[in-house]
Amino acid sequence: MKTFRDLLVWQKSMNFVTVVYQISKTFPNEELFGLTSQIRSCSISIPSNISEGFGRDSVKD
């Protein structure tokens, strides 16, 4: 594997993010800065953490 983009788990998590964004578009506008924002933030953190962890190569990590 050359990059984190080759990881199946990263690819699936990006698909998950896309689905979350599509579903959260249907939420009420008054939830835009509450629930919608939190759900979107949580979903994008999954592939972000996977890509961040992929780059760690030291013994301590």
pLDDT, tens digit (0-9, with 9 covering 90-100), for 23-58? 999 999 888 888 999 999 999 999 999 999 988 776
Q: Model's pTM, two decimal places?
A: 0.82
Q: Is residue 59 very low, low, confident or very high in pLDDT (cuts 50, 70, 90)?
A: low
Q: What is the mean pLDDT of residues 19-25?
A: 95
Q: Is 52 domain-assigned? A: no
Is 13's pLDDT higher than 90? yes
Q: Please give the pLDDT value at position 18.
A: 97
Residue 27, in any domain of the structure: yes
Q: Can you read off the two tokens belonging to residue 1?
A: 């594997």
38 lies in some domain? yes
Question: Distance (Å, rounded) from C-alpha 53 to C-alpha 7?
Answer: 12
Residue 58 lies in a domain: no
User: What are the angstrom distances between the C-alpha of 54 and each of 1, 16, 58?
Assistant: 10, 19, 11
Number of structural domains the chain divides into: 1
pLDDT at 60: 63
Q: Tell me whether residue 17 is in a domain.
A: yes
- Please report whether residue 29 resides in a domain: yes
Query: Is residue 14 in some structural domain?
Result: yes
Segments forming the whole domain that contains residue 8: 4-46
Reading the block at residue 2, the tokens are: 């050359």
